[in-house]
A = this chain, B = another copy of it.
């Protein structure tokens, strides 16, 4: 069974000022300048070599406080229910999040970052360099989000995708 090999583990933890979903910026571009840090566990520190040359990095992480996913959701930036795969809502069938953050410095196993949109204590799964020729498509058409003014839209989350309090103890 392929599933037997599909195991993931935290390789670090992301520290941010966001203690609960409510009020947390919904994306890095709504979190400009908000500082946080990434603590890489000792086993993985060597892999940080050469990372300091990159202005931005991808953090791949686990949405550890999300409630059970639903295939149709009402996203933060719209009032219309949408297919989950057409949104960046944090309750996913596999709870994997991706965010581009700004790398400000590295000190041993600690990365100083900015533009953090994840909750404090978020388990880190991977770091990948942000490479414009791989990742940047400024002109890509973007469906229902084109109708939303992203400058004025509410940029903060509420608790709609967060675990209920009775779930939190799990």
Main secondary structure of the interface of A (DSSP, over half): mixed
* Least CB distance, A92 to chain B, in whole angstroms: 6
Q: Is the CB of A125 within 8 A of B94?
A: yes
Closest to A81 in B: B49
Q: How many copies does the complex hold?
A: 2
- Among B44, B50, B86, B134, the residue within 8 A (CB) of A51 is B86
Q: Is the CB of A62 within 8 A of B6?
A: yes
Q: Is the CB of A145 within 8 A of B129?
A: yes
* Least CB distance, A141 to chain B, in whole angstroms: 4
Residues of chain A at the chain B interface (Cβ within 8 Å): 2-3, 5-6, 8-11, 27-29, 44-58, 60, 62, 64, 71-72, 82-88, 92-94, 96, 98, 100, 123, 125-146, 150, 170
